[in-house]
C-alpha cells in the first residue's frame, strides 16, 4: 500500500508536489509539440494486441491518465465481435471486475445509444442530449469505486456527439495552484452527496456521500465529480462552493488541457476514469446507423505502480 505521506497529492508535501507538477506540465508541453493530435496508439489487430501496444496503453495512462486509441482493422468486426475484442483488451490490461449497473448488457458492458427502454427511463446518456462533465460512478459506494473506464465507438452519430476529455490530475493541479484550500475542501469525506435514486417509489440506490479527490492504493489520484445541477448536494461551506465554481468555470472554458474529439468507428479511450462529457447529437433515421458506443466501468485499478 502506498504511503500518503509520500504522495504529491498530500497538501503537506510541497516538495513532492512541486516535482510532480513540473513533470506533469512538461508532459503536456511535450504532447502539444511532438504528438499527432489526440491519438496516442493504433492497435494493428484488435484481436491480438501486442505486449508493446499494451505497455504503451499503461505508459500513457500513467503519464496522462488516459490513452486514446484506434483499432486499425475495426471494419472487419461486427458490433458483437467488437464487444468481445474490447473485453479481451481490458482483460489483457488487468481489468476484469465490471460494474454491473441497471442499464448494463448481459456481459456487463453498457450499450450507449439513443433509446426509450423503460430501465433507462430519462437517463441523459441514453438520449441525444448534451451530457455534462462528470466521472463515471460518482454515485457508487466506496467498495464499488470506478477506478478505470473504457469507451469504444462502434457507430458515430450522424452529426454532433463530440466527446471531451480532461485529465483529472490537471484539474487538481489547477485547483491547488489557485488555492490549496479548494483541494482540502474537496477531500472532505462529505464534500459531495448524491441523493437516493427512487424510481416508482422504489429505492434503486441509497444516498451516497464522499470526497471528490482521494488517493488510490498505488498512490494515484482518483476523482469523483458531476457538474449536474439537479439531484446533487455540495457541502455548504465557502471553500467547497468556491472550488466547485472554479471547476465549473474551468470545464466551460477553452482550456488547452481539454481534448475535443468526435469518436469514429473503431476509436475509443482507456482511462483512469477521467473527466469527460458529450455534446448533443443528431442520429440517423436508419436503425442500423444510429450512434452506438460500448462503455465498461471497472473497479480494478490499472497496474501502473
pLDDT digits over 123-161, tens only? 667 788 889 999 999 999 999 999 999 999 999 999 999
Is 120 a residue whose pLDDT tops 50?
no
Distance in angstroms (rounded) separating the CA atoms of residues 90 and 70: 15
- Asked if residues 224 and 210 have their Cβ atoms less than 8 Å apart, the reply is yes
Distance in angstroms (rounded) separating the CA atoms of residues 227 and 78: 35
* Helix-strand-coil split of the chain, %, nearest 5: 30, 25, 45
Q: How is residue 263 written as a grid cell?
A: 469518436
**What do you get for the CA distance between the two ends of the chain, in Å?**
10
DSSP 269: E
**pLDDT classification of 200: cutoffs 50, 70, 90:** confident
- Asked if residues 46 and 71 have their Cβ atoms less than 8 Å apart, the reply is yes
Residue 219, Ramachandran bin (φ over 0: left; ψ between -120 and 50: alpha; else beta): left
Percent residues over pLDDT 70 in the chain: 95
Neighbours of 296 (CB within 10 A): 26
Please indicate, yes or no, whether the overall pTM of this predicted structure exceeds 0.75: yes
Closest CA to 128 of 284, 298, 296: 284
Question: What pLDDT sits at residue 288?
Answer: 83
Which pLDDT tens digit goes with each residue over 260-271? 999 999 999 999
Distance in angstroms (rounded) separating the CA atoms of residues 293 and 161: 11
DSSP letters along 270-303, please? EESS-EEEE--EE--SSGGGS-EEEEEEESSPPS
Element containing residue 245 per DSSP (H, E): helix 238-251
Superfamily name and number for 4-298 = Clavaminate synthase-like (3.60.130.10)
258 by DSSP, 3-state: which?
coil
Residues 6+ apart with CB under 8 A from 26: none
Q: How is residue 278 written as a grid cell?
A: 458529450
Q: Rounded to whole angstroms, what are the CA distances from 98 to 5, 64, 146, 277?
A: 31, 23, 9, 21
Q: What are phi and psi of 274, to 5 degrees?
A: -75, 170
Average pLDDT over every residue of 75-102:
94
Average pLDDT over every residue of 4-22:
92
H-state helical runs in 65-144: 79-92
So where are the chain's domains?
Answer: 4-298
Amino acid at each position: 500500500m502506498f504511503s500518503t505521506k509520500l504522495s504529491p497529492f498530500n497538501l503537506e508535501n510541497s516538495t513532492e508536489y512541486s516535482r510532480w507538477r513540473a513533470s506533469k506540465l512538461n508532459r503536456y508541453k511535450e504532447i502539444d509539440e511532438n504528438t499527432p493530435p489526440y491519438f496516442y496508439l493504433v492497435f494493428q489487430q484488435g484481436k491480438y494486441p501486442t505486449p508493446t501496444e499494451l505497455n504503451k496503453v499503461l505508459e500513457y495512462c500513467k503519464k496522462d491518465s488516459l490513452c486514446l486509441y484506434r483499432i486499425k482493422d475495426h471494419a472487419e468486426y461486427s458490433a458483437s465481435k467488437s464487444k468481445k475484442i474490447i473485453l479481451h483488451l481490458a482483460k489483457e490490461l488487468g481489468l476484469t471486475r465490471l460494474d454491473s449497473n441497471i442499464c448494463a448488457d448481459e456481459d456487463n458492458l453498457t450499450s450507449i445509444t439513443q433509446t426509450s427502454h423503460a430501465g433507462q427511463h430519462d437517463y441523459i446518456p441514453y438520449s441525444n442530449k448534451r451530457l455534462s462533465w462528470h466521472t463515471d460512478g460518482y454515485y457508487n459506494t466506496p467498495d464499488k469505486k470506478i477506478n478505470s473506464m473504457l469507451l469504444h465507438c462502434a457507430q458515430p452519430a450522424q452529426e454532433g456527439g463530440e466527446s471531451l476529455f480532461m485529465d483529472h490530475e490537471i484539474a487538481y493541479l489547477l485547483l491547488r495552484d489557485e488555492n490549496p484550500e479548494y483541494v482540502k475542501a474537496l477531500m472532505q469525506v462529505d464534500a459531495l452527496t448524491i441523493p437516493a435514486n427512487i424510481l416508482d417509489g422504489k429505492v434503486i440506490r441509497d444516498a451516497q456521500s464522499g470526497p471528490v479527490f482521494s488517493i488510490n492504493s498505488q498512490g494515484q489520484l482518483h476523482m469523483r465529480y458531476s457538474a449536474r445541477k439537479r439531484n446533487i448536494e455540495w457541502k455548504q461551506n465557502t471553500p467547497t462552493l468556491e472550488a466547485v465554481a472554479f471547476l465549473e468555470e474551468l470545464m466551460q472554458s477553452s482550456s488547452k488541457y481539454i481534448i475535443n474529439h468526435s469518436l469514429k468507428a473503431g476509436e475509443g479511450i482507456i482511462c483512469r476514469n477521467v473527466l469527460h462529457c458529450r455534446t448533443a447529437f443528431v442520429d440517423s433515421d436508419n436503425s442500423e446507423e444510429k450512434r452506438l458506443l460500448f462503455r465498461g466501468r471497472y473497479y480494478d485499478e490499472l497496474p501502473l505502480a
